[in-house]
Structure 1
Amino acid sequence: MSGAGLSARSWGTAPGGAEITLYTLKCGDVRASVMNYGGVLVGLWAPDRRGRVQDITLGYDEAAPYLSRATSAYFGALIGRCANRVARGQLTLDGQTHQLEVNNGPHSLHGGEAGFDQRLWTAEPDPGTDRPALRLRYVSPDGEGGYPGTLSVSVTYSLSADGLNLLYRAETDAPTVVNLTNHAYWNLSGDAARDVLGHEVRVNASDFTPIDDTLIPTGELRPVAGTAFDFRTPRVLGEALRAFADDSQLRFAGGYDHNFVLSGPAGNWKGAAEVYDPVSGRVLTVHTTEPGMQLYSGNFLDGSLIGKGGRRYARHWALCLETQHFPDSPHQPSFPSVRLDPGERFESHTRYGFSVR
């Protein structure tokens, strides 16, 4: 498969023997690689202020480590059917309780034992755009992971010279829940040269959703003002972690692993976040139609995973900016609903922009 700015090559074998394909999208100096197993964003190459083009995501140089949750760490993966945590793995719809797969202590995380990140997607060029674009499709059968309804999902990656766009769509034949995101680990230093504690972070949110000691939201929307979660003006990530080291919310998660309530109406296009690396000059911006964004500061990276170029990924070696509906929404009636019914279409759009200063 090839086209303007889009190429493909074999990249290993999936469980069961199917071929894995790695697709590369290119536009100007920016390049993105995506594989059809897990819909993984394998790499994103962008220039620094000196024009050096380097990879700004964590991951691997081969497919095999992505095929196991023990080593994949969700690097760059598409997440579903319900991103983030669902308390006790229980979902109740129209009076019927469904038991989801429990894989994160007592809870279900990112779709259970084998969510969308561990599935083989079909892929094809998207002819509906004048930029390099790849459309991935997956049909999740009724009962997969414990979720009701057959869910048909498509995710389109499209690339421009200054950004990566993700368009998510889903339809169901029975009432279910849907919360889709991408789990890219960003490190703007280039080729993961150092940790991200020197990155400056801004988040367009006046509230966040505090968690309990098992990382489940309490249901409260708490103002960020005067707390460790006030990123309304840029704050150096490492300085924030040090200044609020005794904050119980940060202790629960070992750092940031929290959902921010983005300012602006849900469903409307909005600026969510900006990250700046003063050393390389790279700037990452996030815009989305989603109501929330999970900021994760790589707390569970412990140096045991050896990624691209033999780089050992230690704690805080990347951060994630997961646009989404709020965690545990099925149990929180005050949160934006993740329910999807037959005849409805789930649609979500997120853009990661790249620039320098």
Structure 2
Amino acid sequence: MFTANDFIPTSYSESIESGNFQWSAPSNIALVKYWGKKANQIPANPSVSFTLNNCKTITKLAFAKKQNTDNFSFDLFFEGKPKEDFKPKIQKFFERIEIYLPFLKNYHFTIDTQNTFPHSSGIASSASGMAALAMNLMSLEKALNPAMTEDYFYQKASLLARLGSGSACRSVKGQVVTWGQQTNIERSSDLYGVEFPYNIHENFKNYQDTILLVDKGEKQVSSTVGHDLMHNHPFAERRFAQAHENLDKLIVIFENGNLDEFIKIVESEALTLHAMMMTSMPYFILMKPNTLQIINKIWKFRNETQIPVCFTLDAGANVHVLYPNKDKESVLQFIKDELVGYCQNGQYLCDEIGTGAMQL
């Protein structure tokens, strides 16, 4: 298991003047939610997520050596157009990771990024965006240090991604990824995400996630603010303990394929996340009336058909509808018949479990 100091390089064997890399990295959806963090993007509790396949960010990184090495230097383009308002976030990211990538000030970077899902569709793009950027930066470091092992490459990429956006560390590698120390999960770490190390039942292969876009507006409360509200939260300690308990239960469920138990944990986790926001000070209700309509429809449908479909939520109003691949036809029909009317402009995205970042 690597410590943070293991990721600080001493020297590089190669030098490189200029070049470019391109990576895609997916979004992910947490089953056990991470909510609340300590200093340096360390999670207050462990989490586990499904890596998505279709909702991803594609980022091209071009770099060229420069004379002045006093400052970070980069241009940022989103879908081909300069994106000034995102630059402070990249600046802050570079400041956080410079200790791990001491070459950053030696180059001028051109970051060209785009999403495969509609912008401000209410899908968190910070996870996929920061993961894609981290993969590109690691490709440059690997060019400077070709002896780097694959294991080190991916774990360091995950560590860097985490320093950009906590959940980004779960978008680097693997179908099911855990992040945060958990006694019963080998090699688990607060520093980076790890591929779930145990058996996963056939029931979860090609698991589907249809994302219902209930509200595509700007987030009412930023994740950073939301996480900070856990510091003095009256129910924080119990919540952190619950996350550990639910993750332990999922280890067994992933192995035995018990979808009824899976549904209980996943839906309870989603509602708990929102309960934490409703009971913080200041407090927020991020669900919309249509979110609740959808949840009730899913419960009714599941009850009537016995099809193991369930929902989860991020820190917003959109609903992720999770179900096994074998039930795809019936669930999609149900979504078209009964749920689309609750989506903004009837919009939804079909996704499924993917495997992580890919070099293009």
Task: State the TM-score bracket (shorter-chain normalisation).
Answer: under 0.3
Structure-1-length-normalised TM-score: 0.24
Greater fraction helix: 2
Structure-2-length-normalised TM-score: 0.24
Larger C-alpha radius of gyration, 1 or 2? 2
Greater fraction strand: 1
